[in-house]
Amino acid sequence: MEKIKMTTPLVEMDGDEMTRILWKMIKDELILPFVDLKTEYYDLGLPNRDATADQVTMDAALANKKYGVSVKCATITPNAQRVEEYKLHEMWKSPNGTIRAVLDGTVFRAPIMIDSIHPVVKNWKKPITIARHAYGDVYKCTEFRIPGAGKAELVFTGADGSQQRATVFDFEGAGVLQGQYNKDDSIRSFARSCFNYALDVKRDLWFGAKDTISKKYDHTFKDIFQETYDAEYKEKFEAAGITYFYSLIDDIVARVIRSEGGFVWACKNYDGDVMSDMVSTAFGSLAMMTSVLVSPDGKYEYEAAHGTVTRHYYKYLKGEKTSTNPMATIFAWSGAFKKRGELDNLPELVHFGEALEAASLQTLNEGIMTKDLCGLAEGITPTAVDSEGFIKAIRERLEAKLA
């Protein structure tokens, strides 16, 4: 068959360890035989980030801004142990954090559902997409360990020299102190990304914060979301037949558990970090979770929601077969193809992305699985295969769908 043509390259960001191995398998077996692949390639593997003083990450992020759609392999964010292991010049920052900052993006994560794996929450019938504001909060906070008695103050000195000052606490003994921040323009970008994504997938948007307790910080999130919705999105939501709903985070969590799913759940940074792990686990597996970073001006970065699967990589280096689940990485590629095809008016490329997803789901629904899913499957007797065998099984079904 003639290969499917592309007009605009995808920004391809290669990664680390076992996911890097899977990346090549997926390209060789599931993409290159069918697509005349055009990418602008960036090696975000930790050795190359170290060799380029992490400039390659910034270059990749700027390329994403230029071309609009990227696909990213999982990467390592090094800790002290990794610095020693890889003989790094320094402890480089998270590539995901750098890319999010450049794109001013919001991360949307949703489970990949199959017939034989049922959510732990029995009434969940449809995917729940977590939208995480990936800026500020506890991840950029300043912390003190308080050694003993004293007064902690919050002080803001304006550019004009004026000051605002408030006592946080009069410590009578040792303790701990934390200051965190956010910005109106980042919150507004978060809101727009969430509203745009909800319109794109035609699902209701829920948002919750603790505005009754945090009357300035959380209330600002609530106010900006409502202002942005009323001014820019209310008519669009009504025309699309979807709704925007705000409530206290306590109420939202209770409603999520009672719901059947099928909505986008906007979360502040820490809430999204925690709740995305809860939702992914309740649906079955983090390896079955898609992730897309969306900027308020419509730039997209698709990736797997999980890490580099280090334990499997060490087995691979010993020549052992691994049964690493490639589904989230496959869906990163398929999502990028669908979006690139949509933007470039290439229905064949959109169809390829859809066929790749359908072939992958068909393989799982027929009981051919990596080992991590076999213990979760109900109503079937699954066949455990290694990563290579699983990808080859998908290729057989993909060829049939594209014939």
pLDDT at 280: 87
First to last CA, the chain: 8
Please name which of 217, 207, 153 lies closest in space to residue 180, comparing C-alpha atoms.
217
CA 338 to chain centroid, in Å, comes to 17
pLDDT at 332: 97
Packed helices 55-67 and 95-103: angle between N→C axes, nearest 10 degrees? 40
Cα–Cα distance for residue pair 11/398, rounded to 1 Å: 24
pLDDT at 224: 98
pLDDT at 325: 93
Cα–Cα distance for residue pair 253/259, rounded to 1 Å: 10
- Judge contact between 332 and 290, C-beta under 8 A: yes
Element (H, E) at 151: strand 150-157
b/e 32-53 (16+ beta carbons within 10 angstroms → b): eebbebebbebbbbbebbbeee
Please name which of 349, 333, 355 lies closest in space to residue 401, comparing C-alpha atoms.
355
- CA angle, 345 then 301 then 126, to 5°: 85
pLDDT at 111: 92
Note down pLDDT in tens along the chain; length 403 residues: 799 999 999 999 999 999 999 999 999 999 999 999 999 999 999 999 999 999 999 999 999 999 999 999 999 999 899 999 999 999 998 898 899 889 988 999 999 999 999 999 999 999 999 999 988 888 888 999 999 999 999 999 999 999 999 999 999 999 999 999 999 999 999 999 999 999 989 999 999 999 999 999 999 999 999 999 999 999 999 999 999 999 999 999 999 999 999 999 999 999 998 998 899 889 987 789 999 999 888 899 999 888 888 899 999 999 999 999 999 999 999 999 999 999 999 999 999 999 999 999 999 999 999 999 998 999 999 999 999 999 999 999 999 999 9
pLDDT at 165: 96
CA distances from 67 to 41, 74, 145 (A): 12, 20, 45
